[in-house]
Amino acid sequence: MPHVSLDQIEKVAAFFALAVLVLAATALSEIGRSIIISSATRFIKSRFGETLKSIPIIGAGLGLTNDLIANAPERSSEAGYGDGVARPRYQLAKQQVLKRLNEAASIRSKRAILARVFTGVAGSLTFAQYIIGGILGSSFFQQKTPPNIIGASGLFVLVASLLTHHYHPDVSGQNNSVAATKLNALIRRTEDRMVVIEAQLDDGDDPKLMLELLEKLTAEINEITSPSQPVVKSKGR
C-alpha cells in the first residue's frame, strides 16, 4: 500500500475545511456569512497556512487577503476651516457623507475577501473534479492503485462535484468581486465630488449640494448591497 505522508493528510484536511467554509457561508444570511468567513478564514490560515501555500490554486485565493482584512482607514472631518467661518449645517452633512464612505470602504474590503475565498475554493473544487477525476479514469492508475485508494478518491471527486453544482462558489466569487469593484468606483466618485463641492464653497452655510451627495451615496450603497441585485449566472445552470 502506498505510503501516505503527513503533508498529504494536511492538504486533504485543509481542502475539506475550505469546503465546510463554503457550505456554512452559503447557507447563512449576509451578516452571518461575514462572521463565519472572517472567523473561519483566520482559523484556516493559522492552522493550515503553510500547507495552503504549497497548493497554488488555493494560495492564489487566500494569499492576497492579509492586507484586506484590516479595516479601511477612517476618514475624518475637520471641525473648522481656514477662513474661520463656522458652518454647522454643512459640517453635519459632510460628517454623514464621511460616515457613509467609511461604511462603503468596510463593505468593499469584506466583499473583496469573500471574492478571493470563494474563487480559491471554486478553483480547488474544479481541480478535484477534472484533474483527480481524469486520473481516476486512466487504466494505469486503476491497475496500480489499491481499490480502497480508488474508492476514496472517487468519493472525493463526487463530493467536489456536488459542492460545485449545488452551491456554485464560482458565482459567489464573481458576485462579490463585482460588488467590491462597484463600491470602489462609488467611493472614488464621491471623494471627487466632495472636492468639487469644497472648491465651490462660499462663506454661506448651505448644505444642499452635500445633502444631495449624501442621498445619492446612500442609495447607491443600498443598491449594490441589496440581496435582490441580479447575480452572475453560472455556466452550469
Domain-located, residue 236? no
pTM above 0.95, yes or no: no
Domain-located, residue 169? yes
Domain boundaries, position 151: 6-225
Give 18 or 138, the one with higher predicted confidence. Answer: 138
Domain-located, residue 85? yes
**pLDDT number for residue 128:** 84
Instruction: Give the count of domains, the chain.
Output: 1
Domain-located, residue 1? no
Region 68-87 average pLDDT:
48
pLDDT digits (tens, 9 = 90+) for 6-50: 555 555 555 555 555 555 555 554 555 555 556 656 666 665 555
- Residue 17 and residue 40: Cα distance in Å, rounded? 9
**pLDDT number for residue 20:** 56
Domain-located, residue 87? yes
Asked whether 159 and 19 are in contact (CB, 8 A), the reply is: yes
Q: Which residue, chain included where needed, has cell 471623494? A: 191
User: 10-24, 47-61, 121-135 — which one is most confidently predicted on average?
Assistant: 121-135
Domain-located, residue 230? no
Region 100-116 average pLDDT:
95
pLDDT digits (tens, 9 = 90+) for 164-215: 888 889 999 999 999 999 999 999 999 999 999 988 887 677 889 999 999 9
